[in-house]
A and B are shown apart, each in its own frame.
Chain A
Amino acid sequence: QFVLTQSPSASASLGASVKLTCTLSSGHSSYAIAWHQQQPEKGPRYLMKLNVDGSHSKGDGIPDRFSGSSSGTERYLTISSLQSEDEADYYCQTWGTDIVVFGGGTKLTVL
């Protein structure tokens, strides 16, 4: 079954760094994903497409503080120098031939 798993919540202090994880289901380690951010009361916003080799291409206007990396079935989103506006829900997304799958989302709290 094609599943993306995310921790429901994460927290980190203002100015610190945080690494969010998205885990692909077994047998899907070669899949790319995308990361999307949803700030409170707003629509989602594309952050980046993250490939299996860790290379990534970011959306328009996404700051350098946001980066991605990969290891096996894990895909990571690292946010450095956390700012208050980074407090949001973060979703990973992947796709097959005729299907799109979202992770359950991680709610990031900036302390």
Chain B
Amino acid sequence: EVQLVESGGGLVQPGRSLRLSCAASGFSFDDYAMHWVRQAPGKGLEWVSGISWNSVTIAYADSVKGRFTISRDNAKKFLYLQMNSLRAEDTALYYCVKVILISRGAVAGSFDYWGQGTLVTVSS
């Protein structure tokens, strides 16, 4: 059974940093691209960032480019999101998402499994 378990969320002041983690199990983690998607309270889904299986291809939404860094550890089966210079508008539930099997060099595709999310609140 595929499981994605996020952690690391919490309350943080504007301008500070936070690192999210996602523990993956139930599938061959190093075969798949992975992504982060967020959902602000009462709002829709917003794509944040994605990373290919070998970390060679990485993509970011314009709203987080230059502030957030995605990474992965295939040996530990973990996905990470380092969030710096946080703003109030980054307040959201952050989901770890698996991509359906795609060509090895690609980063984007249909999402087929979602975690339950970890809540990040940016407020003074």
A96/B116 in contact, CB under 8 A: no
Which residues from chain B contact A36 at a C-beta distance below 8 Å? 45, 111, 114
Residue of A nearest to B100 (CB): A49
Which B residues from 17 to 39 make CB contacts under 8 A with A?
Answer: 35, 37
Query: Quick check: is A1 within 8 A (CB to CB) of the other chain?
Result: no
Residues of A close to B117: CB separation below 8 A: 43
Cα separation A96 to B109 with both chains bound (whole Å): 8
**CB distance B107 to A102 under 8 Å?**
no
Contact B108 A102 (CB under 8 A): no
B45 and A105 within 8 A (CB): yes
Residue of A nearest to B115 (CB): A43
Of B57, B111, B113, the residue contacting A93 (CB under 8 A) is B111
Min CB distance A107 to B, Å, is: 10
Asked if A102 and B46 make an inter-chain contact with CB atoms under 8 angstroms apart, the answer reads yes
B-side interface residues, number (CB < 8 Å): 23
Residues of A within 8 A of B41 (CB): none
| Chain B proximity mask over A76-108: 1 for CB below 8 Å, otherwise 0 | 000000000000010101011111111111000
With A44-B95, A49-B100, A95-B108 already in contact, the answer to whether A100 and B47 are too (CB < 8 A) is yes
Which residues from A are CB-within-8-Å of B44?
89, 91, 102-105
A28 within 8 A of B: no
Top 5 closest A-B pairs, CB basis? Answer: A95-B108, A98-B59, A100-B47, A34-B110, A49-B110
